Amino acid sequence: MAWPTYLQSLAGGALIGAAAALFLLLNGRIAGISGILGRLLGPRSAETATNIWFVIGLLVGPLLFLGLTGRLPDSHVTAAPAVLIAGGLLVGFGTRLGSGCTSGHGVCGLARLSRRSFAAVGVFMTTAVAVVYLTHHLLPGVSP
């Protein structure tokens, strides 16, 4: 029997929150993916091994899901490769501009009551609402 979607979402959110809290408690740093990946691309430091294991954990997650459920997580990408590349570049630019990504600001920063994270999440959400409105209502045929 499959779990209802709301329970899957609750379990996923709880796991993300627990992982972020443990990362902060054990390492004294925020579990923001862009920062961790960015530090991996820079000069080596004492935290390089931790960052490598963190990224390996992200990549192994779907394999663990496969082992537990017998299937990979559902993923449906309908955008053209050029749109995916442009979106990836824009996200990368945004994380540098905003000094963090949605996981760092949204999960960790809000939990710490960071004013900068509240501002960043407000910008993320406002932009997301505007893009969805634009692509679904003003530019018909752009979204799938």
DSSP assigned state of 71: S
Handedness of CA 19, 23, 24, 26 (dihedral sign): positive
- Return d(Cα 70, Cα 51) in angstroms, integer: 29
Its pTM stands at: 0.70
Contact 78/144 with Cβ under 8 angstroms? yes
Close Cβ partners of 91 (under 8 Å, ≥ 6 residues apart): 101
Of all residues in the chain, what percent carry a pLDDT higher than 70?
A: 96
User: What pLDDT is attached to residue 119?
Assistant: 93
* R_g of the chain computed on alpha carbons: 17
Tokens (6 digits) for 38: 């960015």
The pLDDT of residue 33 is above 60: yes
User: What pLDDT is attached to residue 144?
Assistant: 56
User: What pLDDT is attached to residue 142?
Assistant: 62
